[in-house]
Structure 1
Amino acid sequence: MNTAVLRSRLRPWGTALAAASLLLATACSAPRAIIATGKVTPQGEFRVGYNQGFNLATAPLAKAGSAVKEAASQAATQQKVDYTDATTQLQAAALAYILDPVQPTADLNIRYGIVPRLDAGFKYAFGSYVFDTQYQLLGPTGSPENPDRGAVSGTTYASIGLQFATQRAKLPSLPFLSDINSVLNFRATRNDLLVPLTFSQSFGPEEEIGAISYGLVYAHSWVSYGFAPTKIYNGSVQVPELPLQSRNFSSFGGFVNLKLGYRYLYVIPAVSVFYQNYGDYALLNGASTSLSGVTFVPSIGLQLRIPNLMK
């Protein structure tokens, strides 16, 4: 079999492996899937769960074309890299993936009802640590075992939440991003604030068999980043590093989720959509880039409700 035929037969497998490597990328971004309903955790109750999602952002996809991947592969093998437009594109791709990565997301979470209408929780997102709280604005505060008067199927609930996440950001485990990092020596940290306004309709009294929820989300992110390359040159002069830069940007979005189950165990499919103008970012050699895009966050989770046995 000649080489051309062999390559043509292996090409589909290469595409499949590339897709698989994307799916297996390390999840280290703050979770933005909204799985809460308008009803907060009743006082004294616990809710524990696991959520699996996927962060699909248009900005990094637009910056990671075949030409950029080829440039990253070539630069990684060179001892000296000349600064060109391709070098600028490598930096833009790295930034886009840090600002809004294309990768799986997952978190383990726990919530506790502190007082009527207020709960708090913690999520561990495999690299990101998330603290949040939620205050119930509308609807009864009972439980399936002890429903409040008037709590029937179709009851409307509403709440507002506050979520804070912190992480040392890193590029997903994709081959071309590893090549980019070996050339640019990229480093970054970020903090994220999320404020969801949630409305829901109960299935059964006090969400005994679940709920449908929907709402709006505001998010704000603070990012610090820098590049410290050692082999990029402008002619015969080594390009100096870019010291840590600080930027922040807002995101706006909406979501819908379904909570389906009975009393103690629920399945929660959800989808969130965000738009963000990330703004302008300084690059090496006095260059800059501007980024914006839309992000889709589908997810599915399991939630276990642990009732207050003292009531």
Structure 2
Amino acid sequence: MRNLPALFLLGLAGLVVGCATPLSTMQTAKTLAPGQVQVNGSMGVFVPVGTLASVVDVGIDQGRAAKRAIDEDTPYTLTEEDQQRLLTAGLALVVAPPGVNPELMVRVGLLDGFDVGGRYNGNSLRFDGKVRLAHGGPGPRRSYDLALGVGVSKYLFSGAVMDVLEVVQLGDFSRTDVEIPLYLSAEYGDVFKLYGAPKYVFSHTSLDAQLVDFSKQGKPVTGFDASLPSTVNSHFVGSTVGFAVGYKYVHFYAELTGGYVFCNPHVFGQKRDLGGMTFLPSIGLGFRAPERRPAASADPAAPGTLAPPST
């Protein structure tokens, strides 16, 4: 079992991309006009509040236990319950580590009331479509919109840890996300936009079959149950609120996404709760091309045209 440490690292690396989910929106409910293009660059900070609170709570409890052992001059030992809490907290932190998430998004209008887009964030590609459900407003420079979207993300499984470890081929891992957002927005002229997007995201990760079989061989040798699941599912339920400010074709975006991640895989011999409250504040810059206007028909009264003969 010389590869057992590598097995742990590779398994955890697989779980990292199994439960961490990009959650930013960076768009309003208003769909692009046919042929219109928008490009957004953004940066978000992933903050797993529930995971961090769990880690801090376990650390405080163990710190108190260690101090009590010192004060009473008794050995400091970990109970089975303490070991499981520490392991679960550590797994949750590895699965959903805080970090910075850069993204690049390109969108294009295909039909009136329907646009599509692609997004790249360093380890995944996301493609989505958005269809307008309602549009209204008191005038052409003020509008209220409602749209429904659906997106699919495919993960590339790149990174230093995954590249160095060679227990399995990287192609044996796969993860797919399906996202369903409902966009709502209000736009005030070319200057200010306010938007929100309640959303649900389902994530499905398949681990390599050889890795799963190999993980089950560790217990007879080490006494530690190192078994990994063949699949990991997670669910995110939450919402994004944000605004954009700018003029005509360039806008600055700022938003906050918050919600709860449900992720309960059976890892290392027990069912673990690796989810919790999650927040993702993001900022970005969007560039939108002007709408393509249809060519105006000839006006008989315009200069340079021939007026029809009078009768």
After TM superposition, the score normalised by the length of structure 2 is 0.67
Q: CA deviation at 1:59?
A: 3.8
Partner SS, residue 51 of structure 2: helix
Q: What does residue 146 of structure 2 align with? A: 158
Q: What does residue 48 of structure 1 align with? A: 39
Partner SS, residue 259 of structure 2: strand
Q: What does residue 51 of structure 2 align with? A: 60
Q: What does residue 112 of structure 1 align with? A: 108
Q: Distance in 1 between matches of 2:153 and 2:93?
A: 19
CA 1:260–1:250 in structure 2 vs 1: closer, same or farther (change >3 Å)? same
Q: Distance in 2 between matches of 1:53 and 1:308?
A: 29
Q: CA deviation at 1:194?
A: 1.5
CA 1:102–1:231 in structure 2 vs 1: closer, same or farther (change >3 Å)? farther
Contact 2:240 2:255 in 1 (8 A): yes
Partner SS, residue 290 of structure 1: coil
Amino acid at match of 2:44: G
Q: Distance in 1 between matches of 2:263 and 2:113?
A: 35
CA 1:273–1:169 in structure 2 vs 1: closer, same or farther (change >3 Å)? farther
Q: CA deviation at 1:241?
A: 5.1
Q: CA deviation at 1:209?
A: 2.0
| Residue 97 (structure 1) aligned to one of 73, 89, 94 | 94
Q: What does residue 278 of structure 1 align with? A: 263
Q: CA deviation at 1:291?
A: 3.2
Q: What does residue 167 of structure 1 align with? A: 155
CA offsets 1:260-290 (integer angstroms, 9 cap, x no match): 11111110000111113223x2223x33322
Partner SS, residue 139 of structure 1: strand
Contact 1:88 1:283 in 2 (8 A): no
Contact 2:123 2:158 in 1 (8 A): no
Amino acid at match of 2:191: I
Q: CA deviation at 1:165?
A: 1.2
Q: What does residue 182 of structure 2 align with? A: 197
Q: CA deviation at 1:240?
A: 6.7
Q: CA deviation at 1:257?
A: 1.0
CA 1:87–1:224 in structure 2 vs 1: closer, same or farther (change >3 Å)? farther
CA offsets 1:159-187 (integer angstroms, 9 cap, x no match): 1111211215589x8xxxx8xx99x99x9
CA 1:243–1:297 in structure 2 vs 1: closer, same or farther (change >3 Å)? closer
Amino acid at match of 1:283: V
Q: What does residue 214 of structure 1 align with? A: 196
Total equivalences in the alignment: 247
Amino acid at match of 1:298: P
Amino acid at match of 2:250: L
Unaligned 5+ segments in structure 2 are 1-18, 63-79, 295-311
Check if 1:126 corresponds to 2:126: no
Q: CA deviation at 1:105?
A: 0.8
Amino acid at match of 1:304: F
Q: CA deviation at 1:201?
A: 1.1
Q: CA deviation at 1:36?
A: 1.3
Q: What does residue 303 of structure 1 align with? A: 286
CA 1:86–1:240 in structure 2 vs 1: closer, same or farther (change >3 Å)? closer
Q: What does residue 205 of structure 2 align with? A: 223
Q: CA deviation at 1:218?
A: 1.4
Amino acid at match of 1:270: E
Amino acid at match of 2:244: K
Partner SS, residue 291 of structure 1: coil
Contact 1:259 1:269 in 2 (8 A): yes
Contact 2:32 2:108 in 1 (8 A): yes
Amino acid at match of 2:40: G
Q: Distance in 1 between matches of 2:157 and 2:55?
A: 19
Contact 2:253 2:286 in 1 (8 A): yes
Q: Distance in 2 between matches of 1:110 and 1:29?
A: 23
Unaligned 5+ segments in structure 1 are 1-27, 71-83, 141-147
Partner SS, residue 149 of structure 2: strand
Contact 1:44 1:308 in 2 (8 A): yes
| Residue 272 (structure 2) aligned to one of 289, 293, 296 | 289
Q: Which has more strand, going by share of residues?
A: 1
Q: CA deviation at 1:87?
A: 7.3
Contact 1:40 1:136 in 2 (8 A): yes
